[in-house]
Structure 1
Amino acid sequence: MKKLLYILVLFTLLLSACGKNAEPKEVAVDQDTSVKDIVGAIVKNKFTVEETDGIVTISIQDTDVREGSKNQMLKDSGRIFAELSKLKSVKTPSIIWFAPLTGANNNEEMTEVLSVYFDEEDFRTVNWADYAQLNIESIATKYRENPALGD
């Protein structure tokens, strides 16, 4: 009886492990996909998108900042840039991350903590196919982070 119970538990764990996908889902990008669609599929935070003549600025408000957030922001940024590279209309993208930092009056204010910008040449030169392996900090045209963000 115990063997049967162990087999059932093992089988259940195996099935649940098979159902989990460690790789992030790819966004289905076609001619009708907007920048908002791409960002909304990747981040669950509040965000805004400004687009003018191929210049795209994405502002993301991350209210759940904790240790390791920088790495997650960079991963999400890389994924967003990779998906944006599939849109011919996007020429110079930038992503600005905001997070609540305690101000002088102990008020938590949304402050820019990370900013990543690519000019058109750099954006088109990068091979975004394996975005997870890219070092966004070193390949971005402009990269800036708030010292409070840490590693």
Structure 2
Amino acid sequence: MLELHANVYAIPEGSINGPEVALRGLNLPTLRSTSGGPPAFLVTLPVSFEQMQASLLELERSDCEPDGYFLITGHEEGVFWRLNGHMHEYDGQMHRVELHGECPTATLDSVLRTMGWPAVELVFELVKEGVTLREAAFRTWADTTRIEATRLAQ
């Protein structure tokens, strides 16, 4: 199961690896711009609002509102989970998608496919932490199995 609150973007042009930061007991590499600041999220995703919305509605146990809010729910090993999100467009294309909640990896993958993944590289801006991670670091950060093991070890 994954636990997350992140904005998902297409990888910004000119992004480079930034310094590592300690998050949830891990040192994870961040992403930054070549000028040294945070990435400038100017690249849009390769799908329109309408395309993504139609794809989301094809997923099991999903609902998508006209304003771009969506919800997907389910049960995994007796645990109820929910992932909600909000789609944001710019100039006819998806700019970013905010995701929040808990879900199995397969559900996250299904949602990311509605954004053009894996053909397009995605990055994840952690809302509370204010850092941007590449996909592999994000998945490590979001893994609740690892999160729970870290909590028990403390």
- What TM-score bracket applies, with the shorter chain setting the length? under 0.3
Relative to its length, the structure with more strand (as a share) is: 2
Pick 1 or 2: higher relative contact order, CA cutoff 8 A, min separation 6.
2
TM-score by length of 2: 0.27
Greater Rg, structure 1 or structure 2? 1
